[in-house]
Structure 1
Amino acid sequence: MEKKTSHLFPTYARWSLHIEYGEGSYLYSKDGKKYLDFVSGIAVCNLGHRHHAVESAVSEQMQKYWHLSNLFPISLQEEVAEILTSHSDTDLAFFCNSGAEANEAAIKLARKYTKRHKIITFEKSFHGRTFATMSATGQAKIHDGYGPLLPEFVYLPLNDSDALEATMNTEVAAVMVEIVQGEGGVVVAQDEFLQKLAALCQQNGTLLIVDEVQTGIGRTGTAFAYQHVPHLSPDIITSAKGIANGLPLGVMLGKMNLAEAFGPGSHGSTFGGNPLSLAAAKASLEIIFNDAFLQTVSEKGCYLRDELKKHVYTIPFVKDIRGKGLMIGIACEVDVSSVIVELQQQGLLALTAGPNVIRLLPPLTISQQEMDEAVTIITDVLNNYCV
C-alpha cells in the first residue's frame, strides 16, 4: 500500500500518537489508550485540558466577536493587562501571539529605548525561532544553516559572575535571561548571580529582560519565576505558553518609562491580543494568580521532587533532580531519547531538555495520586533501562 504523503514541511520530529481528546491531566489516543500528560503542550495547558472555566469563557466570547483588530479599543486587553502588571513589577503590556514574538518585541524595545545594539544572553538559552530570537539563543544547533545571524549578541555561561562583570559596559542595551533554562536542561539561575546581574544592569544603564515564556504563569509556584529572587525587578518580562491555557497568546510586559520608545507605529501585530485568547487568559489568570493556588503549586513541586529523589535518585546513571515548582528535570549520564519512548509506551508523556535530561511539566492542577502514578512509571522505566 502506498504511504500517504504529508503536505506539511517536516519541521517537527512528531510522535506516532494520534490524540482524540484530552481531559484534565490525561490525553486519550484514537486507539483508546490513556496517557498521563506531563508535557502539558510544553508548559501551556497549566490548568489541564479543557478546563471548564476557560472553555466557558471562550464560548461566551465567541458569541460576541472573534476579531476586531487593534484599531479598536478592546476592553479584554485592558483587563488582562491589569491582571498581569498588578502581579509583576511592570506597568504596561504589549500582546502578541507567541513567546518568540514577545521576545522579538523585547529586543526591539531594548535597542530602540537605549539606542544601543549589544545584547547579552546565555549559553544553552532558548528565546525563539524568529531571526532575532534565534540570534539571541545560545545554542549552535538552533543557528546552523542560516548564515550570518543578527548582530550583536554575546553568549556567556549562566551563573558565571566573573564573565558577566568582564563583559558588561555602557554599550550593552540589555541582558536577557531565563530564571530556569527549559530547553537548555532545566538549569536554574542562582539568586546571587541574578542579583549581581541586576546590579550591573543598573550601573550601566542596561535593561534587564527576563524571559518567562516557559517559567511564567504559576509554573514555578509564583506568578513569575523571577519573584523567587529577593529584590529582583526586571525592566521587561516576556511570557506566553501558559497564559491562555492553549490558545495562542504572548505578552511583553514593561515599566512605564519604556513607553516613550514604543509609540504608535513602532510595533504591532494583526492577531496580537485576539479576544478569544484574551478570554481564555482572563479565566486562566484569575485561577492561577490566586495566592492559595500558587501555594499548592509550590507544595506539589516539592512533593514531586522529593518522591523522585526517594525513588529515582539512587539509580546509578541519574545525576540530578532539579527545577522549581512543577518544572522539573531528571539529569542523566545517558541519552534519554529512548527513555521518553518507553515512558510513552507505559502511559506517561514527558519531554527531553537536551539529550540527557527528562523534563516534566505536568498541569498545575495535577493531583497527588497522578504524581504518584508518574513516579511509579518513571521509576520502573529507569530501573529497567539500567538492567
Structure 2
Amino acid sequence: MNILKSVILILFLFLNLEAKVVTSVNTKSSTGEGSGLTREEAINNALIEAIGKINGVNINSLKQTFVASYSDNQNTNIVDMYKEKIIKATKGEVDSYDVNNVIKDENGNYIAEVTVYKTSVKKYYDIPGYKPDSRRSITVFNSSSQNKQLGDVLQQKIITNLLQSRKFNVLDRDSKGYYEMEKALITSDPDVQKDEIYKLKNVLATDYILLFHVGGVDLKTKGNKNKIDVVVDYRVLLFATRQIKFSNTLTMSAFVKGDSLVASEKLSEKIAKKISDDILNAIYPLKVAQVSNNEVVFSQTLSNDEIYECYSLGEVIKDAYTKENTARIETKSGKVQIIRSTPKLSYAKILEGSVKKDDICRPLDDSGVGMEKQHSVNPNGTVNLGW
C-alpha cells in the first residue's frame, strides 16, 4: 500500500508539471560594403559581400541576380524588389536588409554600406517532469516462453523498482499500438492544434537492455505450506556495442503459508527486487548522499529495516594486463539500517562504524529469502535445486 501511494504521488507530481512548446527566435546579421558607378551598383556589391559572409553563398550567382535593380524617383531607397531577389538568391537564408549609408566620393563613385539579416524561429516540445539527459536509459524485456505469465509479472515489478530508484529513464516497448494511435491523431486530425506536432520525434533510444528469462518453476505443497522454486537468468546489454555488461543466474525458493497465488506474488516481489538491486548495484552502487544528525540519507527509496554495509573508496586499481581501471580499494566504514523512507529519500541509522558522505553501501545477503545454488531445469519446466 505504501508503494502504491508513492507511485500515485510521483505520477501526480509529474502530471502537474507544465508541458509546453517553447519558441526561440535567433537573428544573425552581417555587414557589407560595396562601390560602383551608380548608387544601385554600390548597394548591389555591398549586398553581395554581406550575404556571402553570412552564409557562404556563391558571389558570382549573386552578381547575376542583382544585375538589374531599381530605385524610386528620389533615388534614395531601393524598392522591395531587392528583398525578393535576396530571398530567391539565398533560398531563404537571408530575409531582410538595411541600407546603412550611401556616399559619393571625390571621384564621383558611390560607396554603400548595408546590413543583411537572417531570422530563424525554432520550436521544440519542453518535456514535462525531469529531463532525461542526466539519466541513462534502460528497457526491460521478458524473453520467457514456457513461463511467460510469471515473466510478465516480474517485468512489471522490475520496471516499478527501477522507476522508484530514480536512476534510469525506463523506456516502454510494449505499447506501440497506443503510441501509433496518438501519432495518427496528431498528424491527421484537423482539430488538433498545430504545435502538437512538436511532441513527435522525441523518442529515446535505450542505453541498456535488461533481458531476463524464467528458466523453470516448481511448486510443491505440503500441508498448508507452499514451497516455490524459481530459476531466472538475466543479463544487461549495452545497446550501442551489444556488449554483455552484467550477467547472473538467480535460483530462489520461498516457503509461504496459504494460497499459492499469494505465495507466487510474494516470491515474484522478492525475485524482482533481487534483480533490480543487482542491476542498480552494478551500474549505480548505492551512495551516501548526506549524513545528518547521526542519520545516513540516500537519494532513493529503500525498504525499511534493510541493513547495508558501507565502504569508503580509496585508490583506483588497474588490471595488470589490460591496464583498465578494475575497481577502487574499499575500506569498511560501518553498517546502517533503513528506518524510514519517502518517494525520493531514505533514512538509515548507523549501527556501527563511522559512515561518511559518498561512501558506497551494499545490502547484506538475506539467506532467508532465497539462495543461489547449483541447479538444473527439468524437461517439464520444473527445477532441480540440488537438495
Q: TM class, shorter-chain normalised?
A: under 0.3
Q: So what's the TM-score if we normalise by structure 1?
A: 0.21
Q: Which structure would you say has the larger Rg?
A: 2
Q: Which has the higher helix share?
A: 1
Which has the larger share of strand? 2
Greater RCO, 1 or 2 (C-alpha within 8 Å, sep 6+): 1
What TM-score does the superposition give when structure 2 sets the normalisation length? 0.21
